[in-house]
Amino acid sequence: MTREKVRGHNNNNNKDHLNVPRSASSLCTSSSSQSAVSLSSFGSTNSSCSTTIEDDNVISNIQSNVQRRGRKRCNPLKTRLKYPNKNLPSEATISDIATSHRKSNEKTFDTSNTFQNYVRKEFESSNVYQLHGTNCDPEVFLIPVNDRRSGSFFDRVVSPNKVINFIAQHMKVYYDLSNDHDAFSSKRMAMDDNMWDNLAYIIPLLCRQMNQVLQSETIVVKVEPDCLIFGDVHGNLNDIHHIYTHCIINPRYAKYRFIFLGDYIDRGPKPIEILCFLFALKLSDPNRFILLRGNHEVLRVNRKYGFQALCEHIFEDTFLRYPIIGKLAFESFNRTFTYLPLAAIVRGTGNHSLFCCHGGIPNQKLKSDGHHRSPWTISELNALTNQYHPSLLEPTKHEGKGYRALNEILWNDPIPIRVRNKKRFINKLFYCNKKRGGHCSYFSESALTDFLDTNHLTMLIRGHQYRHCKKSGFHYDFDNRMLTVFSSSNYCGQRNTTGYVAITGSECNVMARVLRQSDESAIYSDFNILKVTINSKTKEIEEILY
């Protein structure tokens, strides 16, 4: 990996010596120097989190601590690699053939005895207690207990408001350009280290709590208006900061619900912070925040696009006895992805309801006579909950119709405009989408009309495609019965406008709006760089720069 280690704490010869926590003077401050963001919509909290990084003395301590921490982030702007990487197209594609040799290893998470023993030893309460006084002490994010040294650490409960306050304060300072425009300044690199150290131990707990909440949700959830809908964010924490400050804590939207259409990770450098922040929001008010699953919330996809490499690289030099937290974080996040709902119905009066998902409508199923096809109904999709929830949902052409239908909700695209008038496509409802690997479909306007009418819906709202949303952040199609929205700025090194959708009233009035113009977000372009180099023969990640 390209992230330089100044003192090489993670050399193989040193792994047995990682059980000693670093000095308690590292990045901790007294409670008097800490402050929390006021969140009326989430309730107040009496406990302050770890370093808020606003005090000059704290920043000085962090900067002086970088050399002792033993790691330094590389600046991708100084490399000769081209961006975006040719091996990583702007739209995800997965080939069954290219990854078939690894397929059997990706169907389950790592349950090896060696790895599980390391996890148990690392997360013994008595061992975690040794982190007291360091900047990665997880206690500042947890609900207090009488004796933190007894019992299992995995039984502890994270306070979502504490995580929200901490990350919100981090974003406020991190994206403040009033005095410093350098995305790779020593101050911001040190802030990154501080953030990762604080999140390291709470990620498994946060994901466990999310799993418990999501278990009660069906594959298609129902949401009442009013609500705001956001498209792909792809690891761009600056966009989440903008959404948070302008929408989530905006008094104008105090009674709104918020729907995210998936693709929270990959192609951006801050997926871990985004997941922890959105998970904390969901835990703080499960009915107000709806997190749908995108095609990048699939293990096989995000492994290919660098999420595992990023997790392992970020957490390779933390305050740990065993260097396993990167792998554990990757598996914890992906296990939670398997519980995420795939679609949401914004339910208005009468037939004024909307279908929201990441990709598109599923291919029609064969009727019992084996000759005629009919659209899936919402009740039929929800009937698959017990069978496929949770599920890895690997992209494949060789599973049953129910499994494939759920996959297609994540992957399907509308028929491209350039081929709609060609004779061989005019009468087709669906046809194979070879661009994304052949395991999903293109759907036509007629197919969409059949699906919406069958389910008494008026419109499909989706994400998944950047191309047509570049100029306005959203794109209407199919006689305004489909709306695509994209909410990630500076996407793959390009300048683009981002959008969102407001749904108001009992009749579900749809208003597509601009979230940020390209010129407004361009000043943060250096903050959203992730470069991944893949070996063309082995398909393994060789280098990652962020």
**Residues 264, 45: Cα–Cα separation, whole Å:** 27
- Helix residue ranges per DSSP H, 135-202: 160-174, 186-199
Angle (deg, nearest 10), helices 325-337 and 113-122 = 100
Give the mean model confidence (pLDDT) for residues 376-405. Answer: 88
Give the mean model confidence (pLDDT) for residues 17-25. Answer: 30
pLDDT digits 0-9 by tens, 257-279 = 999 999 999 999 999 999 999 99
**Residues 296, 393: Cα–Cα separation, whole Å:** 11
Output the pLDDT for position 30: 30
DSSP state of 532: E
**Residues 1, 24: Cα–Cα separation, whole Å:** 29
Angle (deg, nearest 10), helices 271-284 and 307-314 = 90
pLDDT digits 0-9 by tens, 433-491 = 988 988 899 999 999 999 999 999 999 999 999 988 999 999 999 999 999 999 999 99
Average pLDDT, the chain: 81
pLDDT digits 0-9 by tens, 294-350 = 999 999 999 988 899 899 888 876 666 566 888 999 999 999 999 999 999 999 988
**Residues 64, 54: Cα–Cα separation, whole Å:** 16
Output the pLDDT for position 173: 97
pLDDT digits 0-9 by tens, 402-414 = 899 999 999 999 9
> 427 versus 105: which is more confidently predicted?
427
Q: Which residue in 60, 11, 14, 8 sits closest to 33, CA to CA?
A: 60
Please give the model's pTM, rounded to 2 decimal places.
Answer: 0.84
Output the pLDDT for position 158: 97
DSSP state of 282: H
Q: Which residues contact 179 (CB under 8 A, 6 or more apart)?
A: none
Q: Is the pLDDT of residue 90 over 60?
A: yes
pLDDT digits 0-9 by tens, 165-216 = 999 999 999 999 999 999 989 899 889 988 998 898 899 999 999 999 999 9
